[in-house]
Structure 1
Amino acid sequence: MEKDVLILGIGNLLWADEGFGVRCVEQLNTTYDFPHNVTLLDGGTQGLYLVQYVQRADIMVVFDAIDYGLEPGTIKVIEGDDVPKFMGAKKMSLHQTGFQEVLMTAQFAGGYPSELVLIGVQPEAIEDFGGSLRDCVKNQIQPALAIALDYLNERGVVISKKSDQDNAEVPDLAPNQLNIDVYEAGRPAEAEAYRHGDVRFIPNAINTHDGEA
């Protein structure tokens, strides 16, 4: 019987290295062709809305930025029952707590992947609203994808690289404005945009940004 495979990237593109997981599935989507039983999903910060996808999956691959307490840019692979422990070990952001709950809810409801792997990278910076992936994290996208492709290949999932023609017709997983090339091209420099949150709710943020405080 053919197994359903879910490849999921979670995280928040607006908080620098938090976007690692989403950028991984974005790259897979534009670079490779997958069989019909494989679903690529930009999970963003959807939390419990992802339960239905998790319940349907027999095999699940998750990409995320995880605070392992290691050197920035370090990849760490976690499998099976240990995955939920790391998704909530250090609550860097709301989406991680949410995804731990996703796994628990799916398991409680009787639908849970028989095989599960988390491919996580240690972030360098997340407190940078509107910021980009740091180089040490961005450089780990391809190694992370290689780990995922090997994992799937070992389980009989046949994956092929897209041709240039195929690549031109790939539907986006998220709005085009969030594509890494478009996003990077339109992102203002740090000197022009406050990057630590919403200035309307942070005392003295505007004055500090203007160098007056």
Structure 2
Amino acid sequence: MNSKRILVLGIGNLLWADEGFGVRCVEALNAGWRFPPQVTLMDGGTQGLYLLPYVQQADCLLVFDAVDYGDPAGALREVVGDQVPRFMGAKKMSLHQTGFQEVLMAAELTGKLPAELVLIGVQPEELEDYGGSLRDVVKRQMVPSLNLALDWLERWGAPGSVRDGEAEALTDAALAIDAYEAGRPSAELAYRLGDARFLNLDGAL
């Protein structure tokens, strides 16, 4: 049995439109495929340095994320090896990218950076839409991104098999993409800097 410990991370913030690309990808991978026990799929969200122990334990790390490369919206990039930390810090879209670049640096400083690194990233179209979901041009890149990830996992000796049942969710059911999108107020009622679904009756978080 292949003994490589493999971590597949989706990072980003579901609440800010295309920022949720990475999390949506790892959710979809988990929902559609089963993997050998050495593979861990994780919604890394915006946890930053809290992810360090998981990264340090991995031999192979694959990250899904929305990254501002300066490309046209929806452009997909596959970044490999020592280029990954550089691309993670290319242009900070949010604090989560600063945090994850620091995770990689800390793992390297402690001599526990995974031997193999892969970043599957997409150029976002819209970020300033609180409570919004992936834009179509970004959502269309999910299937190609999953195919790239499946190819890497097979290359690392951990091929996926199609699920024949329901997976244990990586995130709360209320944040699953179908429920999340169906619950959004109309454009007339939605407020781009906040969303009533995440506020209490007093208007406080």
For normalisation by structure 1, the TM-score amounts to 0.89
Quote the residue 1:192 is aligned against.
189
**Match runs of 1:125-164 below 5 Å:** 125-163=126-164
Q: Quick one: distance in 2 between partners of 1:72 and 1:61?
A: 22
What's the CA shift string for 1:50-92, capped at 9, x where partnerless?
0001000001110000001111111011111111111111011
**Match runs of 1:54-203 below 5 Å:** 54-163=55-164, 166-167=165-166, 170-197=167-194
Q: 5+ residue gaps in structure 2?
A: 197-205
Q: Quick one: distance in 2 between partners of 1:48 and 1:102?
A: 5
- Give the match's secondary structure for 1:132: coil
Q: 5+ residue gaps in structure 1?
A: 200-213
Q: Quick one: distance in 2 between partners of 1:81 and 1:11?
A: 21
For normalisation by structure 2, the TM-score amounts to 0.92
Give the C-alpha shift of residue 155 in structure 1.
Answer: 2.1
Asked which structure has the greater CA Rg, the reply is 1
RMSD of aligned C-alpha atoms? 1.3
Quote the residue 1:33 is aligned against.
34
Residue correspondences, number: 195
Give the C-alpha shift of residue 18 in structure 1.
Answer: 0.3
Q: Quick one: distance in 2 between partners of 1:81 and 1:112?
A: 10
Structure 1 stretches of 4+ moved >6 Å: none
